[in-house]
Amino acid sequence: MTNKCVIFFDIDGTLLNHDKELPLSAKKAIFKLKENGHVVAIATGRAPFMFEDLRKELDINTFVSYNGQYVVLNGKVLYTNPLMIPSLEKLTEAAIHNNHPVVFMDHEDMKANVPEHTYIKESIDTLKISRFPTHDPYYYKGRELYQTLLFCPEGEEKQYEQEFHDFDFVRWHPVSVDVLPKGGSKAKGIEQIVKKLGFPQEHQYAFGDGLNDIEMLLTVKNSVAMGNAVEKVKEVAKYVTKSVEDDGIFHGLQLVGLL
């Protein structure tokens, strides 16, 4: 196992291009990695039900979802880090007062606290998924939630950051912010997997492009930023590959010597 590695891939802007399509070169590269005995995993901010088709297409059963809050190893739940519900209730009350809708998310579904809102449609539509949040303002009761979406224009999340210290707020869309448990990250989720599998740092790799990938790319020794990544992400990565639109996964794996 000494020459085998574990490679974590973000989804949006990394595996999937702007049109939410998986480039053929990336698909072939993933299967070549597996053929060579490496462990291939996903590390995403998405909910598990948002990338079931991709997991099936790539035959991947190990993943870090919800930015590290729900981790699965070989098809079995390894680690969870749910939101603090009392604080979430208070945040939801403040959001209602500010006319900012929220969407509650567990490992199976997502529910909005309002029947409909343009911000929800505008941001969720960009994911190009078949499921859309339905209305259930009390979905947070009696269940573990791993992420909540707060919908507000850029900059308006600052008021929540100042008041709700049990959460981290990571913007992923001009009108939407991920609400995560304080200190939760893809890096923390990855830590659970590599600890279980026993891979040394030298044999750990990660590919990403967004702000929610920064801690992952800072923590994983062999980190690769996509060519389409934001500058802050490129600055923290060990390597920078080509854009996802330009066979970035394939070239990145060549760059680090895995292909």
Per-residue pLDDT band for 2 (boundaries 50, 70, 90) equals: low
Domain range 6-80+184-255, CATH architecture: 3-Layer(aba) Sandwich (3.40)
The pLDDT of residue 162: 97
The rounded distance, in Å, linking the Cα atoms of 54 and 58 is: 6
Beta strands in the chain (DSSP E): 6-9, 39-43, 63-65, 70-73, 76-80, 102-105, 110-112, 134-135, 147-151, 167-173, 176-181, 204-208, 222-225, 239-240
The rounded distance, in Å, linking the Cα atoms of 60 and 112 is: 29
Q: Is 122 helix (H, G, I), strand (E, B) or coil?
A: helix
Per-residue pLDDT band for 130 (boundaries 50, 70, 90) equals: confident
Residues catalogued as catalytic: 10
Right CATH number for 85-181 from 3.30.1240.10, 2.60.40.10, 3.30.200.20, 3.40.50.720? 3.30.1240.10
> Which tops the pLDDT comparison, 214 or 130?
214
Using the predicted structure, report yes or no on whether residue 146 has a pLDDT greater than 50. yes
The pLDDT of residue 1: 40
Using the predicted structure, report yes or no on whether residue 87 has a pLDDT greater than 50. yes
Using the predicted structure, report yes or no on whether residue 216 has a pLDDT greater than 90. yes
The token pair at 219 is: 């923590």
- The model's pTM is 0.92
Q: In the chain, pLDDT over 90 holds for what percent of residues? A: 95
Segment 223-247 shows an average pLDDT of 97
The rounded distance, in Å, linking the Cα atoms of 12 and 19 is: 10
The pLDDT of residue 90: 97
Using the predicted structure, report yes or no on whether residue 37 has a pLDDT greater than 50. yes
Domain ranges of the chain: 6-80+184-255, 85-181
